[in-house]
Amino acid sequence: ARMGRTRVELFYDVISPYSWLGFEVLCRYKHIWNIDLHFRPAFLGGIMQQTGNKPPAMLPKRGEYMLKDVKRMAKYYQVPVHMSGDDFQRILGTSSLAAMRFITAIDMTNQQYLEPLSREFWMRFWSQHEDISQPENILTVARQAGISAELSQKALEMISSPTVKDRLRETTAEAIKYGAFGMPAVVAHYNGEPHLFFGSDRLELLGSVIGEKWLGPVPS
């Protein structure tokens, strides 16, 4: 890390729409704030299970609110999340495990593609409402992100390897160790200690803690 730069880790899963919002905003701020941003692909299912958390839509009133909330946030954050009522079933019926292992494999081998690849997974699932769990769809996403067929194929083969499985498990465990119970979980290492911020609407507070100025979700 460069002198005086704050290490900021973003633990995320592409099944989480709020993770996408947080991801895009931090991407916009990484050249404005004095931070070193690290993307930490983790598995939301594992976090929910190990902390006893439940998907927000399990509570009908919360589900109703979340639909409106995501719509407003998408507009305010200028991120093309499109959510409708039947998305709750879609999320519950989709496992992001293969996608997150694939992202982990790319993180381990060709890190320069981590940002565009993650973005394409969100685009496909949350903007185009397409599947991200089947191997052929994962390869489509990788192609959209500019990854060659050869590299994609290699990463796809890696998802069943102990190395990748362990790495994803470790990253997920690390998020829990910092106190995460959902996604996105943002951890700022400041003044010698980790500060956890949950959700995409706490980045203003993050700025305040690390002494950086918040310029809204779309700083120009």
What is the signed CA dihedral for 194, 18, 103, 115, rounded to 10 degrees? -80
Of 91, 110, 109, residue with least CA distance to 14: 91
Q: How far apart are the first and last CA of the chain?
A: 25
16 is catalytic: yes
Catalytic residue (one of 16, 19, 152, 200): 16
Task: Give the residue numbers marked as catalytic.
Answer: 16
